[in-house]
Structure 1
């Protein structure tokens, strides 16, 4: 039997992976449904209603300010003004102006595809990264724990071939789920914009940018699955991968942030993983060296740009290191 097809079948039959992926997809469906139901299209009637609401709120604010000023004047006229509640000069109570109540504040929520869609990919990517990291770790970790890996190596003694065939089968499954999912996610939000929002201003360049972000999203999901697989292979247990990532995210990040702060390093955001996450998803992020300025002198702090290429290079290096150690461990350690 072909080893690759056997591993694909094994991946598909793992109930934990199936239920985990199904639960994630149902959550994504619920998120899209919630966005569809909570938004509505803004037409001329909605704009007119918002204008009336803004005018009404302005009138109420004017009346409230007038009452407040009158109470202030009565308090001062009593000879014992309550300075804890009123200013020394009642004229300092500013009356509201009409521009403080723009009609846009009173419009119903509406989904603007060009402005709002990129933020939805954070939800999509974050959930699938978590799910496929766990699935990748479980796919190989459970086989070490159950002894199935030892039985497989009796049938196919080529250790590295077995390891990387498993990885190839895993990544094939990840792509088979994540690529259609991100396409359907984009289509669902496009329909939400058409039916419950606005699809104006979406140019060819905007579509190209969205497509590249979709690709980066899928690439990050694939990398998460491979990282989970590699870490579980090193420790020969699913828990090592989960514990390792938890340690990096909680203990490691807190420790690095504390060390960077103590050493007063420049661009402290570069020591934090969320910065790289934003750079990857948004294509770039600007970091600021807040320590470089004496604010009393009014200087402008220097900035530096972190792009998705920088993040991608670090991701490739980290992934190569994890998989390299996993391959070395598979080749050198006893199978027992």
Structure 2
């Protein structure tokens, strides 16, 4: 039996892998079902009801303004006069055109507008699964002594570790591709039943496909980083501990310190902004403590745009550093 086939069987024979993947599928199913139940298809009846609600709200607000004017006039010369403006005519009635009936429409799933968030949800959940399963896959081998026994059978350190990593990455590539196809199909059917797919042009499909490819890359990097950290520490807890520490130090501690120091674009130093930039192609951060004056627009906050290429460079660098360090220590350290 080849080493790759043996590692594939070992990965799928582990109960942790099966249970974690099952849990991920259950969470995805819950998201899809809740989305289905909280959206509905919009037709002439819903539009008519929304317009009627907008009209009714306009009439209620108009009546309230008339009551307020009467109260304002009645309060003149009394102790309550300071609760109203000096000129009661300042209490102006609303205008019907300010009441957009779309505000009163029921939620509906527009595939082109709403599915990108669902694609990001899928990628984030699978990335978490890949990270934890990858860390456990190699961490358990080190902790149980299985790695040492395996090296007695195949005394080729880098080949053994590389095959394990390849097995993990190929497995999650297949899982991500299959689930992405099912996820896309499910929400397309959901949009047909509870929303609209009318705006799906070839360009829109291409954009969704590229977004799902970026999601696949995120999943693979997360799995490789979890695998690499656990291999470096020779224990699953190494990967989990480093991750928790990084979240606490960089996500909360560093963010608080930078805000106190009034550093520009604090979000640029935090993880979520880079993940959004990667999945959504870019994110624009604003510094509300600064003023970029324009004679046309006045004082506008300064902005910083993070692009998917910048985020991709960070992901690639993280992959190379962690996996490279794991391979180097595998080759240089004693197996004990």
TM-score, length of structure 1 as denominator length: 0.92
Q: SS of the counterpart of 2:67?
A: helix
Q: Distance in 2 between matches of 1:92 and 1:176?
A: 65
Q: Distance in 2 between matches of 1:266 and 1:210?
A: 32
Q: Distance in 1 between matches of 2:286 and 2:300?
A: 10
2:220 corresponds to: 222
Q: Is the 8 A contact 2:255 2:270 kept in 1?
A: yes
Q: Distance in 1 between matches of 2:143 and 2:321?
A: 24
Structure 1 segments unaligned to the other structure (5+ residues): none
Alignment: residue pair count? 334
Q: SS of the counterpart of 2:305?
A: strand
Q: Is the 8 A contact 2:292 2:300 kept in 1?
A: no
Q: Distance in 1 between matches of 2:248 and 2:124?
A: 17
Give 1:275 shift. 1.8
Q: Distance in 2 between matches of 1:191 and 1:82?
A: 60
Q: Distance in 2 between matches of 1:250 and 1:145?
A: 26
1:269 to 1:195, Cα distance in 2 relative to 1, 3 A: same
Q: Is the 8 A contact 1:267 1:290 kept in 2?
A: no
Q: Distance in 2 between matches of 1:330 and 1:152?
A: 14
Give 1:224 shift. 0.4
1:192 corresponds to: 190
Per-residue CA deviations over 1:278-297 (Å, capped at 9, x if unaligned) read 11011122344656537799
Q: SS of the counterpart of 1:293?
A: strand
2:88 corresponds to: 90
2:14 corresponds to: 14
Q: Is the 8 A contact 2:292 2:302 kept in 1?
A: no
Per-residue CA deviations over 1:164-196 (Å, capped at 9, x if unaligned) read 100111112111211111111111111111111
1:296 to 1:39, Cα distance in 2 relative to 1, 3 A: closer
2:122 corresponds to: 124
Q: SS of the counterpart of 2:306?
A: strand
2:79 corresponds to: 80
- Which of 168, 177, 193 lines up with 2:175 in the alignment? 177
1:258 to 1:21, Cα distance in 2 relative to 1, 3 A: same
Give 1:87 shift. 2.9
Q: Is the 8 A contact 2:294 2:300 kept in 1?
A: no
Q: Could you tell which deviates more after superposition, 281-290 or 187-196?
A: 281-290
Per-residue CA deviations over 1:26-75 (Å, capped at 9, x if unaligned) read 11011111111211111111111111111112111112222222222222
1:163 corresponds to: 161
Q: Distance in 2 between matches of 1:51 and 1:216?
A: 41
Q: Distance in 2 between matches of 1:328 and 1:73?
A: 83
Q: SS of the counterpart of 2:80?
A: coil
2:67 corresponds to: 67
Q: SS of the counterpart of 1:306?
A: strand
2:102 corresponds to: 104
TM-score, length of structure 2 as denominator length: 0.92
Q: How does 1:160-309 map to 2 (within 5 A)?
A: 160-257=158-255, 260=258, 267-288=265-286, 293=291, 298-309=298-309
Q: SS of the counterpart of 2:182?
A: helix
- Which of 137, 141, 144 lines up with 1:143 in the alignment? 141
Structure 2 segments unaligned to the other structure (5+ residues): none
RMSD between superposed Cα atoms in Å:
2.2
Q: Is the 8 A contact 2:4 2:163 kept in 1?
A: yes
Q: Distance in 2 between matches of 1:73 and 1:24?
A: 63
Q: Could you tell which deviates more after superposition, 67-76 or 318-327?
A: 67-76
1:74 to 1:292, Cα distance in 2 relative to 1, 3 A: closer
1:57 corresponds to: 57
